[in-house]
Chain A
Amino acid sequence: MFNWKIYRGLVCVIILSLALTGCFEGIDMKDDSVITIAMIPKIIDIPYFDTCADGATKVASKYGYELIYTGPTTADAASQVNIIQEMIYKKVDVIAIAPVDPEAVKPILMQAREAGIIVVTYDADASKDSRDVFVSQVSAENLGRHIMDNVANLIGEEGAFAIITASMTADNQNTWINWIEQQNEDVYPLIELLTVIPTDEDQQKAYANTRNLINAYPELDAILAMSTEAGPAAAKAIEAMGETENVQLYCLSMPNAMRNYVKNGSADLVTLWDPHRLGSLTMEIIHALIEEQILADGSDYADFENIQYDEVDKIIIMGEPLDFDFSNIDDYDF
């Protein structure tokens, strides 16, 4: 039996307590002496971001900061916004975020900055006025042109290649692809980019489309797999088809995932950067900002020497992209 009286009584109690706690909102429960940093990746559970977080955690504990690592379970911009909101209410001191969508997080990040929170973006950028600094692993232009140069190295000055990417809405990849096309146009007019196919982080689609591409275009010399999930799947497809000699595979993936394929020849080149370092550097930059250090081009931050800094756009650039192939892939563990 539903007892309205008890129900009403409980509701009153709740409203009263809410009112009371509202009055005492000034008394802060949070321990102000510890600096809290919220680290929000695009999506949790991806080895890339988890490794970033490992790097960040080490540096955070070195300085005695408290690190909160949380993120959306699917790369959904709305979830990220909600998480940021939560962090603002939690009154964290710093937010480090890899935004899924730079536009979606702009209003909320600006709100965070107004509340006095330091906002740093890493891996992917948000708009300039919504963050204090962007810690970038490489410059997008640099990366795009470098990748295109590598493609030319793999197939020669003349040939055809195709790109497999994550999804049509992936900002990062789209920017890099633009620079790849730019370099293609500028320096290698005889190389043709046949097509760009999305795979939505689905291994099976990457596998199927690699096979499709190789069958559809016999003139295909190389495939560029730009999403971390697509690399291993594409390599597997090439291996299964026995095309390791004919088609060059170039991936943007983690070396650990690609090692076996590079060793057996189905993948020829891998480019990435060390996410561990990216996480550490992000934390070092945050430390510098907390200590109210002025960032300058060429400064050193703990173990990181001579780090590039673009003062106009406020971008820290960690370094150059790393290339892994048969000769050096064993030297890296991430």
Chain B
Amino acid sequence: MKNILHKRESYLLVVTLVLWGVISIMNPNFASPRFVMSLIGFNGVYFICALGILPLMIKGEIDLSIGGMITATNVIIVLINIKLQLPLILIVAIGLLVGALLGAVSGYIIGRFKLPSVIVTLAMMNIYYGFSKYINRVMVHDDQALPNYNFQDYKIFGFGIDILFIVVMIVSLYYLMHYTSLGRSVYTIGGNKRLAELIGFPYFSTTMKVHLISGLSAGLVAAISSVTFNNVNTTIHSGIEFELLIIVIIGGVSILGGSGSVLGTFLSCLFIIILRNGLVFVRIPVFWHDMIIGVIIILIVSYDMFRHRVNLNDWRP
């Protein structure tokens, strides 16, 4: 199992570098590492959320409600801000808190009733989007609901705050996956649910925790977004749930659960970001994007299946 992941990650690295190289040749402005850094920064939402859903996908679930949680958290942040002007730190804290709460709701329902996560998160997505759009319409009247935070001026060691958040996310998730019991239970339950339960891994608390993490990532993104754009926008990130699914799968996560890594997810995210943003640099018409990505997914996943036949102890999630 580990062998394949190693291969996958190096394979991804190579492909990403090649892609970067090709685009840079066609438009040298893409080449500067400084630009790639800022590219990662302003696409932070994808990195943060892809890492956020990684644990639950390794566990074998799917979260379609990320977009809804981001919007709902955004609306709540703005509502609070109308009454009290808050400093940046508090906004991030509130975002994390609210996001975690929203995630916990999904986690509780899935864990307690042992329901399929796809449908539950689909329902939650509808609920979060529907009600928060309504509240936004009725209660938020100002276009620039938040003051200008000059997000770009906050720098630590010369790196912008957006990069910082991504790094924190990567480090904490890596630690979580490799050094905590949560990480162990996630991989085990994902690999073989029945067996994991027999051994004694706690299904309910693991479910709660992975959804909390997903909610936290959504909340963080909402906070960053509020502070960057000084408003709430309900059409932002629409369709993100599928985009994240693509990123995570290309990064080595199996839809059945049990495999996936922080490095793989990061590299895959980088790959997709370079692909989508790089196309602006080389002026390839947008029409080809989706077709190319669709084929890539199918090729990668079938290659996976071919190399690693699902073994006999396949208990369906």
Contact = CB atoms under 8 A, between A and B. Distances in A.
Q: Do chains A and B touch in the complex (CB under 8 A)?
A: yes
Interface of A: 44-45, 47, 50, 73, 168, 194-195, 197-198, 200-204, 207-209, 211-213, 215-218, 229, 232-233, 236-237, 239-241, 254, 256-257, 259-260
Contact of B238 (A195, A200, A236): A200
A204 B29 contact: no
B292 to A, nearest CB: 16
A204 B240 CA distance: 11
Given A197-B280, A204-B236, 19 more contacts: A44-B137, A45-B136, A45-B137, A47-B143, A73-B133, A168-B286, A195-B283, A197-B286, A201-B238, A202-B238, A204-B42, A204-B225, A204-B237, A208-B277, A215-B29, A218-B29, A236-B230, A256-B143, A257-B231
A203 B236 contact: yes
Given A212-B277, A216-B27, A232 B238 contact: no
A47 B232 CA distance: 12
A257 to B, nearest CB: 4
B235 A229 contact: yes
Contacts of B38: 211
Contacts of B45: 204
A214 to B, nearest CB: 9
Contacts of A207: 42, 228-229
B233 interface: yes
Determine chain A's interface SS by DSSP, over half rule: helix
Interface in B175-233: 225, 228-231, 233
B30 interface: yes
19 contacts: A50-B137, A73-B133, A168-B287, A194-B283, A197-B280, A202-B238, A204-B45, A204-B225, A204-B236, A209-B277, A211-B38, A211-B42, A212-B281, A215-B281, A216-B27, A236-B229, A237-B42, A257-B144, A259-B144
A50, A208, A237: residue with the most chain B Cβ atoms closer than 10 Å: A208
- 8 nearest CB pairs, A to B: A240-B152, A216-B281, A201-B235, A257-B143, A212-B280, A203-B236, A256-B143, A203-B233
Contacts of A256: 143-144
Contact of B231 (A195, A200, A204, A232): A232
Determine chain B's interface SS by DSSP, over half rule: helix
Contact of A203 (B143, B229, B286): B229
A200 B238 CA distance: 9
B235 A233 contact: no
B159 to A, nearest CB: 14
Nearest to A264: B148
Interface of B: 27, 29-30, 35, 38-39, 42-43, 45, 133, 136-137, 143-144, 148, 151-152, 225, 228-231, 233-239, 277, 280-281, 283, 286-287
A233 B232 CA distance: 12
B280 A209 contact: yes
A37 B143 CA distance: 29
Contacts of A241: 152
B42, B133, B239: residue with the most chain A Cβ atoms closer than 10 Å: B42
B237 A202 contact: yes
A47 B137 CA distance: 9
Contacts of B29: 215-218
Contacts of B238: 200-202
Nearest to A257: B143
B280 A202 contact: no
B273 to A, nearest CB: 9
Nearest to A73: B133
A259 B142 CA distance: 12
A259 B236 CA distance: 21
Nearest to B153: A240
Nearest to A47: B143
Contacts of B235: 200-203, 229
B30 A216 contact: yes
B272 to A, nearest CB: 13
B143 A202 contact: no
Contacts of A260: 144, 148
Contacts of B283: 194-195
B75 to A, nearest CB: 12
Contacts of A229: 233, 235
B30, B148, B151, B233: residue with the most chain A Cβ atoms closer than 10 Å: B233
Contacts of A233: 229
Given A47-B143, A208-B42, A212-B280, A198 B231 contact: no
Contacts of B151: 240
A215 B35 contact: yes
A218 B235 CA distance: 30
Contacts of B144: 256-257, 259-260
B123 to A, nearest CB: 17
A274 B231 CA distance: 22
Contacts of B228: 207, 236, 240
A216 B280 contact: yes
Contact of A202 (B133, B136, B236, B281): B236
B43 A208 contact: yes
